[in-house]
Amino acid sequence: MMKYSIALVVIAGMVQLSFSADYYVSALNGDDLSSGTFVAPFKTISKAATVMTSGDRCFIREGIYRETVTVQQDNVWFGAYLDELVVISGCDLLIDPWTLHSGNIMKLTVPDKVLQLFVKGKRMNLARYPNEDAAQNMLSGDEWEDSTTTTLSTSGSGRARVTFDTMTQPAGYWVGGYYSGQNGSDPFTAAVGNIVVSSGNTLEIVDLAYWSRSVAGAESGIGPGRGYIINHLNALDFAGEWYWDAATLYYYPEGGVNLENDAVEARFRLLGFVLDFRSNVVLENIQFHAASISMANAINSRIDSCTVRYPAPWSDYSYPTGHDYGGRVDGTCGLYISGSGNVVTNSLIAHSWGSGLLIEGEQNLITDCTIEDSNWLGRRMAAIQLFGTSNRVEYCTIKETGRDGIDGGQRWVGLQKWGTWQVMRHNRIENFGWLAADSGGFYMNMQGVSIPANCEFAYNEVFYNHGRHWTAGVFLDNGTHTAQIHHNLIVGPQERGIMLNDAKK
């Protein structure tokens, strides 16, 4: 039966929902041709989204939902029924038979691009040289190989040479792959590029990040360091690795894996829910697996008690401007939120190749959340990228990230995004800077005095910046000014607790 109710619910003084009709969804025994009642539920959440009107609720029964749900009405609610385990997945099961490619490598025809691969729920490693460690610590560079990069062009074309100390392979062996490393005297972002020439121990790479392509002596990206080659079939030489190209998926099974019986899941979708341009929408008690959330230009909407694991897949991130902040097209921004008055609360965001969250717009709030294990790419990304105006991060735990805990942006090159009037209070930020130098638990780079930051960083605990140098607990860089920094506890091996670089005021 359809349940109707009339009520007014005020959430955190921001989100107001007046409920009218309840719909039910069950992945196990639902049917999209049914009426959507408790006894005759829909099979997909997307079907419920197409029939819901303002004030309706969608109760989701236990199960795995392999779909991207686009919300089509304002003032609606989606959540688990009676705390049942609801998982929205960006993956589909691979059920066709595998065939032998060569050696221990199996292959399967998969027309759509595979973004990530999971076997029995465990993430498999994208093919890489040197191989990833067994513990899958994506924030460690211990397995990387010593390398040196040199600029081949100063005209902005973005071409460089990479020379490895010990690796050597025949001509053309790595062409089509991708290089990533910590190179240069100040590797505040990764030295990266697509491999177009390969011979012996030398590569030539193109499509460099801005910092490597702009000048011959770029401190970040050009010089000695360590790196790896990723996303190439020739790197597929270790159990648990995979690679996709030209409609074929290659996989080296781990011991004990039975490809006929064990669940093999390939990620094809970036997003699990799309709330773009919607207002007063609530997602509650939903788990997202290899699927992220987009809230572009959303208003007064809320994510409550949700878990988002693996929001951002690996990407070569070849953007024309060379900026490093993460993109919506390839999902490297993690959860994307803009608009105003939106809230993310009591939620977990974890295991991201890119950022955990990118916040723009105004008066959005991230509170009582844990954001961990992010920015495996080692680029100018962060657990939280806090741009826009009057956005807040409060009572959060932010830990294990490749560069900054919270990045307030940069007003100069690339994407030219920054935050003003931001408030960051009562957070715990720990173990950051694993893959980049020149970083902070909170970092902002305003490049001069024309725009004041007008931000507040207070009552936070900041522990352990692991960057190579130019490290701080709080880092206001290149003229950033008009910030309040008070009542913080800063501990760790970093060079400075608070660094004010070229402060003009």
Residues 234, 363: one domain?
no
Based on the fold, state whether residues 340 and 260 are members of the same structural domain: no
Residue 417 lies in a domain: yes
- Considering the domain architecture, whether residues 472 and 349 belong to the same structural domain is answered as yes
Q: What is the 3-state secondary structure (H, E, C) of 87-107?
A: EEECEEECCCCCEEEECCEEE
Residue 77 has φ and ψ, to the nearest 5°, of: -130, 135
Q: Report yes or no on 505 lying in a domain.
A: no
Q: Is the pLDDT of residue 4 over 70?
A: no
Cβ atoms of 268 and 244 closer than 8 Å: no
72 has a pLDDT exceeding 70: yes
CB atoms within 10 A of CB 110: 18
Q: Are 472 and 503 in contact (CB under 8 A)?
A: no
- Report the C-alpha gap between 121 and 123 in whole angstroms: 7
Residue 118 tokens read as 């999971």
Residue 10 pLDDT greater than 50, yes or no: no
Per-residue pLDDT, averaged over 300-316, amounts to 97
What are the distances in angstroms from CA 43 to CA 107, 266, 460? 32, 21, 45
In the numeric block, which tokens belong to residue 220? Answer: 């970040």
* Calpha distance 472→461 (Å, rounded): 13
Token duo for residue 210: 């801005």
Residue 454 within a domain: yes
User: CA-to-CA distance for 192 and 208, rounded, in angstroms?
Assistant: 6
Q: Give the C-alpha distances (Å, rounded to integers) separating 57 from 47, 52, 305.
A: 13, 8, 17
Closest Cα partner for 117 from 232, 250, 234? 250
Least confident of 160-169, 299-308, 311-320, 322-331: 322-331
pLDDT at 175 over 90: yes
| Residue 159, pLDDT score | 83
Q: Identify whether the C-beta of residue 387 lies closer than 8 Å to the C-beta of residue 366.
A: no
Same domain for 234 and 361, yes or no, is no
What pLDDT is stored for residue 504 in this prediction?
54
CA distances from 126 to 230, 237, 241 (A): 7, 11, 5
Task: Report the candidate in 464, 472, 456 with the shortest Cα–Cα distance to residue 491.
Answer: 464
Residue 39 pLDDT exceeds 60? yes
DSSP strand pairing (281-284 vs 76-80): parallel
What element of type H or E holds 296?
Answer: strand 292-299
Give me the mean pLDDT over the 392-417 stretch. Answer: 88
Please tell me what DSSP assigns to residue 234.
Answer: G
Query: Could you tell me what percent of the chain has a pLDDT over 70?
Result: 91
**Burial profile 380-414: b = 16 or more Cβ within 10 angstroms, e = fewer:** bbbbbbbbbebbbbbebbbbbbbbbbbbbbbbeeb
Which tokens is 395 given?
A: 């009572």
| CA contacts within 13 A on the Cβ side of 115 | 25
Q: How confident is the model over 416-459, as pLDDT tens digits?
A: 788 999 999 999 999 999 999 999 999 999 877 678 999 999 99
In a domain, 321, yes or no: yes
Quick check: 15 pLDDT over 90? no
Average confidence (pLDDT) over 71-79: 98
Q: Could you tell me if residue 173 is inside a domain?
A: yes
Residues 490 and 349 placed together within one structural domain of the fold: yes
Is the pLDDT confidence value at 322 over 50? no
What is the number of alpha carbons within 13 Å of residue 278 lying toward its C-beta? 26
Angstrom distance (rounded) from CA 472 to CA 483: 16
Hey, what are 454's tokens?
A: 């007008």
Q: How many CA atoms lie within 13 A of 437 on its CB side?
A: 16
Domain end point (choices 236, 265, 294): 265
Q: Reply yes or no on whether the pLDDT at 187 is more than 50.
A: yes
Q: Classify residue 125 as left (phi > 0), alpha (psi -120 to 50) or beta.
A: beta
Quote the pTM value: 0.93
Q: Based on the domain organization, do 119 and 194 belong to the same domain?
A: yes
Q: Go through the chain and tell me how many residues it has.
A: 505
Does 251 lie in the same domain as 116? yes
**Number of structural domains the chain divides into:** 2
Model confidence pLDDT, tens digit, residues 332-353: 999 999 999 999 999 999 999 9
Residue 119 inside a domain? The answer is: yes
Same domain, 242 and 314: no
Both 346 and 455 in a single domain?
yes
> Beta partners for 250?
107, 243
**For residue range 119-170, what is the model confidence (pLDDT) as tens digits?**
999 999 999 999 998 889 999 999 999 999 988 765 555 788 999 999 999 9
Q: What are the residues whose beta carbons fall under 8 Å from the beta carbon of 366, sequence distance 6 or more?
A: 343, 344, 345, 357, 359, 384, 391, 392, 393, 394, 396
Residue with tokens 């074309």: 157
Share of the chain above pLDDT 90, in %: 78
* Cβ atoms of 250 and 334 closer than 8 Å: no
Establish if 357 belongs to a structural domain: yes
Q: CA 116 to CA 261: how far, in whole Å?
A: 20
Residues 259 and 132 in one domain: yes
Question: Quick one: pLDDT at residue 18?
Answer: 52
User: Which domain range does residue 330 map to?
Assistant: 310-500
- Write down the pLDDT at residue 447: 76
- Among the candidates 232, 265, 298, a domain finishes at 265
Q: Are residues 355 and 439 in the same domain?
A: yes
Average pLDDT over residues 299-314: 98
Q: Is residue 408 part of a domain?
A: yes
252 and 326 both lie in a single domain: no
Q: Please provide the DSSP assignment of 11-25 as one string.
A: ETTTEEE---BEEEE
The SS3 call for residue 317 is coil
